[in-house]
Amino acid sequence: MSRAPRIPFATSRRSTLGLEWELALVDRRSGELSPRAPEILSALRHLNDDGDRVTKELLTNTVEIVTGVHERVADGIADLEATIAAVRDEAEPLGADLMCAGTHPFSQWFQQSVTPDSERYETLIDRTRWWGRQMMIWGVHVHVGIDDKRKVLPILNALLTYLPHFQVLTASSPFWVGEATGYASNRAMMFQQLPTAGLPPQFETWGDYESMVDDMTRTGVIDDFSELRWDLRPSPTWGTLEIRVFDGISSVAEVASMAALAQCLVDDFSERLDHGEELPRMQPWFVRENKWRAARYGLEAIIIQNAAGDERLVTDDTQDLLVRLEPAAERLGCLDELAGVQTIMTGGASYQRQLAVAARNYGSLKAVVASLVAELRDGVAPPAR
C-alpha cells in the first residue's frame, strides 16, 4: 500500500492568534437580511492588498472580517474593530446594518442569494442541495498557533473535552425562520448536516490524519484538507489549530473573551506537553453527547467531564477552568479579556438575551434583530436589576 501524501504543517509561534468573524448585513428598516456584501467588498478590496481583511462568504448577505497574526487578544480585537468600522462606513449609505448571531431570527433561507462567481460555493451547493441552501448561519473562528506539529493532535483531542464550554458561552441561535427552536444553538445542529462538518475524528498520529485526507480526496469527498469544516481542525497552511465551534458572537467584548479562553486553553495544553504531561481525552460518544447537551440546554447543560463519565453543570466547571487558566492569561496578557467569560455567565449568553428581548416585546423578532444590531455597535447592556 502506498503511503498517503505528506501534509506539511507551517511554522508558527506558540499561541499566536488570528480571528475570523462572520457578520450579517440586515436592512435598516425591515430587519431582513440584506444582499449588499458584493458592493461592500468591491469598495473595500484595497484592504486585501497585503492579505485578507474582509472577504466573501457563501451568501451575499455576509462579510467575513479577518485579522492578521497577533500575540495578544487586545491587538487582535483592535484589528477587527478597524476593519468593522470600514465595513460599517460602506454599509451605512446602502441602508444596511451589521449584526451577528448563529442564525437570523426570522429571514427565510430560500430568499437568500449564493455568492456568484465562486466555483467553491457552487460546488458546495450542487453537492449538498437543500441542506447546503439551509446554511443561513454565522460563526467565529479562532486560530491559535502551534509551535510543534507533534502537539497538534494531542491538543485537538484535549480541546474536545471543552467543546461544550465553547458552545454554551457563544450559543446565539434560539430562533430559526421565525420560530423558537427550544435549542440554545440551533446552528450547531444544522451545520453538522454537511458531510464534512461537525465533530472531528480523534487521530492518534499525524500520519493517520494524512491517510484520512488522502482517502477523502481519492474518493472525491473533498478536493483538499481545507474543505474539512470540522468544529475543531488543524490548519496546516497557517500552523494553527482552528476552533470553529462558536456560534456567531454578538459583541466585540464577547469575541475578545472567547478568543482569550481559546488562546489560554491551547497555551495551557502546550505548556503541559512541554512538561511531559499527558493531556485529557474523552471517548467520541461522550464528546457527541456533550455537543448535543450544550446546543440544547446552553448554560444550563450538565456535561460529561471526563472519560470516567463524571458530570457537572457546565457553568460550575467553567468557573474552575477560569481559575486554572489564570497563569496562562497572565503569560499572554489577556487577564481582563478572560474575565469577560464570567460576565457572560452572570449576565446571560446571547441566546438568553434574544429570548428575553422577544418576551419583552410580545414576541417581536424584529426587536431581537434591533437588539443584535445595537450589541454589535454599542456592546451588551448590563442586565436590568
The pTM is what? 0.96
Distance, CA of 160 to CA of 150 (rounded, Å): 17
Distance, CA of 299 to CA of 206 (rounded, Å): 34
Per-residue pLDDT, 2:
57
Please name the residue that has the C-alpha cell 453527547: 289
Domains of the chain from N-terminus onward: 17-378 (3.30.590.20)
Per-residue pLDDT, 5:
83
Total residues belonging to the chain: 385
3-class secondary-structure state, position 311? strand
Q: Which stretches of the chain drop beneath a pLDDT of 70?
A: 1-2, 384-385
Per-residue pLDDT, 198:
96
Plot region of 262 (φ>0 → left; ψ -120 to 50 → alpha; else → beta): alpha
Q: Give 112's contacts (C-beta < 8 A, 6+ positions apart).
A: 33, 35, 59, 60, 61, 136
Per-residue pLDDT, 385:
57
Type of residue found at 21:
W
Per-residue pLDDT, 384:
64
Q: Give 4's contacts (C-beta < 8 A, 6+ positions apart).
A: 207, 210, 211, 213, 214, 215
Q: How far, CA to CA in Å, does 210 sit from each of 206, 222, 225, 238, 241?
A: 6, 13, 9, 16, 16
